[in-house]
Amino acid sequence: MRDVAVVSFAQTPYKRREDKLSEVEMVMSVVTRAIADSGIAKEEIGFTCSGSSDYIAGQAFAFVGAVDALGAWPPICESHVEMDGAWALYEAWVKIQCGAADSALVFAFGRASMGTLLETLTMQLDPYTLAPLGVDAVSLAALQARSLLDQGGVTERHWAEVAVRSRRDAKQNPDAQLAGDFEVEKLLAEPYRVSPLRRHDCPPISDGAAAVVIAAGDVARRASRRPVWIRGIDHRIEPHQPGVRDLTRSSSTSLAGRKAGVNPERLDLAELHAPFTPQEGILCDALGLGDGVRINPSGGPLAANPMMVAGLARIGEATRRIQAGDADRALAHATQGHCLQQNLVCVLEAD
């Protein structure tokens, strides 16, 4: 296996509605910065891969337009996934493992504010038995949350504490959308949105973009003083039908974590893509994370949840903290689908 490191990360400040910048402009801002900070010349980058969703953009092949931001002349080697950028990073990592490139640019973007996000996300459901019912992402997360309450051991108070901690920590993150001090009692006094979830249990709708540059071995060492090595990366998926799964556990995250070589005793922090508060506990259990691991110092997806970007942003935020010397070894996680159906786990470490 080749050693591959993340050498740079850039993201836009996340907003409820970005109506001044087009997708191309958002992408260009993060790609330009990520390349500039990478220490690798644009012409040397061997592969480019992006993650986004045409349904979010309301246009077939919408991702092709984003290539305009890359200055793809002479032509570049480029690919795309209709997924979170974390999976674009996985494809780029595989490309480098195969020896087809020594460095890669990975980016993700979306302006979910332009559509009705909950209706858009319903389109990812089974078209025969689920999508026609119009069941939405919040409702599905609520079914998962109720299962947790029924099982016992977790309470709505725990979830409110996750929301309070996340948004308080987000105050240190200049790119976060929802940041501030909230009180658990006041949050618990709010009405349910879809019971047992309240508004604070749900992620915001966020527009934005992010990019990372990854590179192999010596290319990474030449480019960066503190390359953040991807020690392991893996992703697993569970069956689609919520009624077939045990929604209180994330077996795919456990398996991906094992395959990625997660050792909870040796982690300083974890950036978890848990868009709904109850999911953070599920992921911590799945990965065996104890109190010694700091969760989502960036504020996590409860502070900003740009669709198709938030998973890549977890990798970026973990990288940023390792580069700054705040951590030596971190875990970053990304999710797709409803109720943590598909999960990617990545272990990052400095030399």
Q: Dihedrals φ, ψ of 21, to 5°?
A: -100, 140
Q: Which of 153, 239, 261, 290 binds another protein (CB under 8 A)?
A: 239
Q: Which residue lies nearer to another protein by CB, 196 or 264?
A: 196
Does 189 sit near another protein (CB under 8 A)? no
Q: Dihedrals φ, ψ of 224, to 5°?
A: -130, 140
Q: How far is the CB of 140 from another protein (least distance, A)?
A: 8
Q: Give the type of residue at 320.
A: R
Listed residue (294, 284, 283) closest to 335, CA to CA? 283
> Which SS3 state, helix, strand or coil, does residue 99 take?
coil
Q: Which of 62, 114, 184, 188 binds another protein (CB under 8 A)?
A: 114
Does 10 sit near another protein (CB under 8 A)? no
Does 70 sit near another protein (CB under 8 A)? yes
Q: Is the peptide bond before 74 cis (omega within 30 degrees of 0)?
A: yes
Q: Which of 78, 168, 182, 196 binds another protein (CB under 8 A)?
A: 196
- Whole-Å CA distances, 144 to 121, 242, 248, 251, 279: 17, 9, 7, 14, 9
Q: How far is the CB of 66 from another protein (least distance, A)?
A: 10
β-pair partners for 230:
348
| DSSP letter assigned to residue 13 | P
Contact between residue 96 and residue 104 where contact means Cβ atoms under 8 Å apart: yes
Contact between residue 312 and residue 84 where contact means Cβ atoms under 8 Å apart: yes
Q: What H or E segment, with its residue span, contains residue 168? A: helix 156-169
Does 19 sit near another protein (CB under 8 A)? yes
- Joined together, the tokens standing for residue 107 give 């980016």
Does 69 sit near another protein (CB under 8 A)? yes
Binding marks (x or -) toward another protein, 31..60, rule CB under 8 A?
A: xx---------x------------x--x--
Does 120 sit near another protein (CB under 8 A)? yes
Q: Which of 16, 157, 192, 326 binds another protein (CB under 8 A)?
A: 192
Q: How far is the CB of 195 from another protein (least distance, A)?
A: 4
Q: How far is the CB of 133 from another protein (least distance, A)?
A: 6
Contact residues: another protein, CB under 8 A? 19-22, 24-25, 28, 31-32, 42, 55, 58, 67-73, 114-116, 118-120, 122-123, 127-136, 139-140, 142-147, 150, 191-192, 194-197, 239, 241-244, 247
